[in-house]
Amino acid sequence: MVFSSVLFLSVFLPCFLACFYLSPQFLKKWIIVFFSILFYAWGAPVFIFFLLGSSVLDFFISKNFEASNPYRKWALFASLFLNIGLLCYFKYVNFFVHNISTLGEYFSFNEIAFKEVLLPIGISFFTFQKISYAIDVFRGENKRLTSFLDYLLYIIMFPQLIAGPIVRYKDVHLQIKNFSSNNFDQKLQGLYRFIIGLSKKVFIANTFALIVSQINALGLENTSSAEAWLGALAYTFQIYFDFAGYSDMAIGLGLMIGFKFPENFNFPYLSKSISEFWKRWHITLGSWMRDYLYIPLGGNKVSTKRIYFNLVFVFFISGFWHGANWNFIVWGLFHGLFLVLERLFLSAALKKMPVIFQRFYTFFIVIIGWVFFSMDLETAFVFLKKMFAFSSFDLGLSISVKSWSLMLFGILFSFIGFNKKIELFLNELPFRIANLNTSQTLVIFPVFLFLLSMATIWIMNSGFNPFIYYRF
């Protein structure tokens, strides 16, 4: 089940909100946890037991994190070993076995007999949340949750369970302890934010996704340079509006039930460097990697060579986190390489250039990176060869005026925040709308309900609604 499905919009969400809002305060946490279990079990019924079981173990291990406990370091090690071990097993064992088998074939060894391990949906996200909880409590930055219900609420809350944002313990620990859902303005903000995110996903991301699908269907041998560039650009905007849309929906759902989740995107394609890009793209992942990996490795307080190594290593891990395949590793290393180059000389050189050139450079590098991200390594290199062959500019695709219009709107929206004032205004827009007076609300509310209805009808009629986060 995903947020942009008819089942979620027409059955799950109305039922959840009705039960949540009509229930007394002492039952609301139970309602969230129950529906979160149902949400996860709907798509992965077997793995709900894995998620619940590992959460029980983690909760009891965390009881040993007190400063007075002589075994607290061993408890932290056990928690990290449990969570990282499970992540490695479910997500990466197939990758390692396949690569060992391939290497074995090269040296004429017998193939390894192995049954494929199924990947629990969302394991990357809830594993990072578990690690965040363990480290924050161990460090004494935030107090341990004494109620298992509260702990499970943090781990399994369905708005951010499958596709993020990555909600660190410090982001919500006070909200969990002092839980309240009585703020009407916050609920309204949440509804508007959810509809904005759904619109991004359904109207814009899916339109770009259809173009990507059509170009992939042509086959590499029949793809012209123009079609290859169009495919790369279409995927660049598809993944942005898809992921940003899901983040908006998650943040909106959180607000509707009394939780404020961190922002995850901030006009990333306006970035003037790869370094800035990672401050604007998947912000919660970047901050997680910085605080729990880069800084513990020494951050910027080590030798210059070690800083470069740390940057490359962090982005190697970031790439591998996105998926168990070589193309994700190359994608991560590709970004890590440019971060190092920017520290060496590129950043100084770029600052001497016009802003438009800085943004063009960053956007170009990001596009090339998405080619590696979106397909296997061998195909990616062939696709890049097609892009830069400039041998044919034929565009044989039939694209409707509606699709061109929606894509143009998406592109313009991606770059509309070029002015700081505009960027700030758009980021604050959902909150501004929620605080309108009564007469203004009577005008704007039907508009959002219309968008919600149109998005639902669009999903029902199109039958094309890809979900790209199953590997996470």
- Which amino acids are annotated catalytic? 322
CA separation for the pair 268, 239 (Å, rounded): 12
Structure tokens at 319: 């790439």
CA separation for the pair 114, 88 (Å, rounded): 16
Among residues 59, 367, 103, the alpha carbon closest in space to that of 240 is found at 367
Let me know: does 58 contact 80? Beta carbons within 8 Å. no
- Phi and psi (nearest 5°) for 265? -140, 150
Among residues 287, 291, 294, 327, the alpha carbon closest in space to that of 309 is found at 294
Long-range Cβ contact pairs of 430-438 (< 8 A, separation 24 or more) = 430/189, 430/192, 430/193, 430/196, 430/252, 431/189, 433/189, 433/192, 434/185, 434/186, 434/188, 434/189, 434/192, 435/185
- Phi and psi (nearest 5°) for 273? -165, 165
Alpha carbon 226 to chain centroid distance?
29
Say how many CA atoms lie within 13 Å of 317 toward its Cβ: 19
Which DSSP letter does residue 203 get?
A: I
Burial 377-410 (b: 16+ CB within 10 A, else e): eeebeebeebbeeeeeeeeeeeeeeeeeebbeeb
Cβ-proximal residues to 19 (8 Å cutoff; 6+ apart), any chain: 31, 35
Structure tokens at 147: 């109620």
Structure tokens at 336: 């890590």
